[in-house]
Amino acid sequence: MEKLIVEGGRKLQGQVRISGAKNAALPLIAATLLAPGTHVLRNVPDLRDTRTMLRLLENLGVKHSRQEDVLTIDATDIIYSEASYDLVKTMRASVLVLGPLLARLGRAKVSLPGGCAIGARPINFHINGLELLGVKCLLEGGYVDASIDGRMKGNVIYFDIPSVTATENLLMAAVQAEGKTVLKNAAREPEVGNLIDMLNGMGARIEGKDTDRLTIYGVETLSPANCAIIPDRIETGTYLIAIAATGGEGTVTHCNPVHLPALLEKLRATGLVIEETETTITVRQPANGVLKSVDITTMPYPGYPTDLQAQFMALMSLGSGVSVVHETIFENRFMHVAELQRLGADIKIDGHTAMVKGRTMEGLSGARVMATDLRASSSLVIAGLAASGRTEISRIYHLERGYEKLVEKLAGLGGSVWKEQE
């Protein structure tokens, strides 16, 4: 097993190119199951999670090849309709094959999903929605065994809480259902919009993109897709925060600033200077060199993203006052706090709220820490880059699930980061 070594105290400077979004690539890869033929996806990140999703599709009979960031998927033949525990246990997004398999084959058996241990993310939204479309769902032996005779029937489906994966799964299930399906209180994330663009390009009829009310008019057949993955807004935010935390100045390229309204507002509130073009964001240090402490509350899009909460907390540990971080999405998403404290961060937790007292004068110091989930891992990297001395981060397989070429990109910005065997 590998660990990541970070020699802190260096300002990150220069440019870094953003990869395609992991959270968009996974549902788009799953959506290729809907139509026989050869699909082409561009700007696909090469990550542990995308490779896991492709292995899952391989087990179903799908063929694929990759050239740089272009992925070609031949979904002509689907031999099996079961997604086994061995693959699904490592990645929650594996459940996204449930909707397209039902639409294509009328049956699917998918293991209950795993992934990061950041809290309960129940699958009941998926199951309740599918049952409203006429699907019979049985939960047995840790699997969802779902089937339907003929086509699904359109219906109105309301989500108590906006769920990204449930919205995506039911979109894929409903595109070939009879009649009209309406998803109310649907997720509005850009990754959902990317999926809608792909499905409409395949011949689906979906209205309401970027709103919480999606209307799907079922069609009988779909054609293979040819589309691009949007830039990764979480990777974008992570690098912006990393540059800011080290006292550096730099530009992230091949990104979409429109997808990060809440983060950019909060970064500006700290005193950082943020400059945007259509595809770049530049971050510069405050004129007085002092970061103001700023409060955040995680919310569904377009609110502040939970996937950038840990990174912002690392930044606020270097602020000039006290920051209040309120987590409303996942109940276990403060597991990184104990590890940040090992680096010297002054953080106190009260339920779903963390109080972060900035250490402007003292700063952080390198230490041995352990990654607990994907985004927590990146907060430790940020803190390690800003700290004095050496930080060793174990269990970095979490990082490899969501950040393409992390070591190379940080080195390109002047960071001293490398991998070693434990």
Q: How many CB atoms lie within 10 A of CB 175?
A: 28
Nearest to 24 by CA among 231, 218, 206: 231
Please report where in the chains the tokens 């909460």 appear, as a residue: 309
Catalytic: which of 116, 137, 227, 255?
116
Nearest to 391 by CA among 399, 400, 406, 381: 381
Secondary structure class of 252 (helix, strand, coil): strand
Instruction: Clarify whether 116 is annotated catalytic.
Output: yes
Per the annotation, where are the binding residues for UDP-N-acetyl-alpha-D-glucosamine?
Answer: 92, 307, 329
For residues 241 and 314, the answer to whether their CB atoms sit within 8 Å is: yes
Q: Please list, in sequence order, all residues whose beta carbon lies within 8 angstroms of the beta carbon of residue 41, skipping any fewer than 6 positions away.
A: 25, 28, 29, 32, 70, 71, 73, 225, 227, 228, 229
Nearest to 135 by CA among 145, 124, 125: 145
Which strand ranges, in their side-by-side order, compose the sheet holding 346-350? 296-297, 322-326, 353-357, 346-350
Per the annotation, where are the binding residues for phosphoenolpyruvate?
Answer: 22-23
Q: How far apart are CA 374 and CA 112, in angstroms?
A: 20
3-state SS, 264-311, equals HHHHHHCCCEEEECCCEEEEECCCCCCCCCCCEEECCCCCECHHHHHH
Per the annotation, where are the binding residues?
Answer: 22-23, 92, 307, 329
Bridge partners, residue 419, by sequence? 4
For residues 334 and 401, the answer to whether their CB atoms sit within 8 Å is: no
Q: How far apart are CA 257 and CA 20, in angstroms?
A: 14
Known catalytic residues are 116
